[in-house]
Amino acid sequence: MSVTELPSRPPRSTREGKALQKGQQTKAAIVDAALGLATQIGLEGLSIGALAEVTRMSKSGVFAHFGSREELQISVIREYHSRFEDEVFYPAMREERGLPRLRALFSLWMKRTSIEIDSGCIYISGAVEFDDRTGPVRDALASSVLTWHNAMKRSIVGAKAEGHLHPDADEEQMLFEIHGLILALHYEARFLKSPGALARANTGFENILRLYGAPLAPAASNARRSGKASKE
C-alpha cells in the first residue's frame, strides 16, 4: 500500500468528539452504578473506592470523572431526579389540566414508591442523612425535592382553577398531606412491612380529594336534575 492509499487521519475535532462521547458514556455508567449503590447504602455510603470496586475501574479512573466524593453524590442526586421526572412528572403532564393531572401525578408517584419499597428512595434516605448538615450535597437534595413539590403545588392550583377543588382549598396544606401519605407509606411498607399499606395510601388520597373537593357546580347540578326529571 502506497502512502497515498493510507487511510487519512481523522480530523482532531472528530477524534476529540469521539473521546468526549466515550467519556460521557463512561461517566453515565459510573453514575448509574453509583445510584444503584446509593439506594442500598445511602449517599453517605458512596465513596470513590467503593464505586471503583463495583465498576471494576481504578480509583483514579473514577476520580477523573468527578474530582471529589461530593461531586459524585451530587451527580447521583441529579440522575435520580432526572429519572423521577421521566417516570412521574412528564407522563402526568400529558393528562388534562386539573384533577386528571393531579390524580396522574399521585398515581405515578405511588407506582414509583411501590418499587422503591424494596430498593430505597434517595429523597427519603438522603433527608435522614443530611437533615442536620449544610453544604452542596444537602442543597442539591433539597433543591430536587422542592422542585418536585412545586410541580405538585402547581397541579393543585390548576385543579382549583378548573373548579375541581374548593376555591378556598389551601394548596400548601393539601401538598403537605399528600406528601405525608408517601412518607407514611415508606415507613409502614418498608420498615414495618405492614400489609395493605399501599391500599391505605390510596384511600388517604381519595379522602384528601373529598375534603378539598369543590361542591357540585350549578351547571352540572342542573344537568343532573334535568336528566333525572326526563327519566321520570
At residue 16 the predicted structure's pLDDT band, cuts being 50, 70 and 90, is: low
Range of the domain at 202: 73-212
Which tens digit of pLDDT belongs to each residue from 136-177? 999 999 999 999 999 999 999 999 999 999 999 999 999 999
Q: Is residue 127 part of a domain?
A: yes
At residue 215 the predicted structure's pLDDT band, cuts being 50, 70 and 90, is: confident
DSSP 82-145: HHHIIIIIHHHTTSPTTHHHHHHHHHHHHHHHHHHHHH--HHHHHHHHHTT--SHHHHHHHHHH
* pTM, entire model: 0.80
Count of domains forming the chain: 1
- DSSP secondary structure letter of residue 4: G
What's the mean pLDDT in 72-84? 96
Q: Is residue 113 part of a domain?
A: yes
Q: Is residue 129 part of a domain?
A: yes
- Of the CA atoms within 13 Å of residue 65, those in its CB half-sphere come to 26
Q: Is residue 89 part of a domain?
A: yes
Grid cell locating 76 = 447521583
Q: Is residue 44 part of a domain?
A: no
Q: Is residue 156 part of a domain?
A: yes
- DSSP secondary structure letter of residue 164: S
Task: Write the CA distances from 106 to 92, 127, 139, 159, 162, integer angstroms.
Answer: 9, 21, 25, 13, 18
Q: Is residue 226 part of a domain?
A: no
Q: Is residue 19 part of a domain?
A: no
At 81, which CATH number?
1.10.357.10
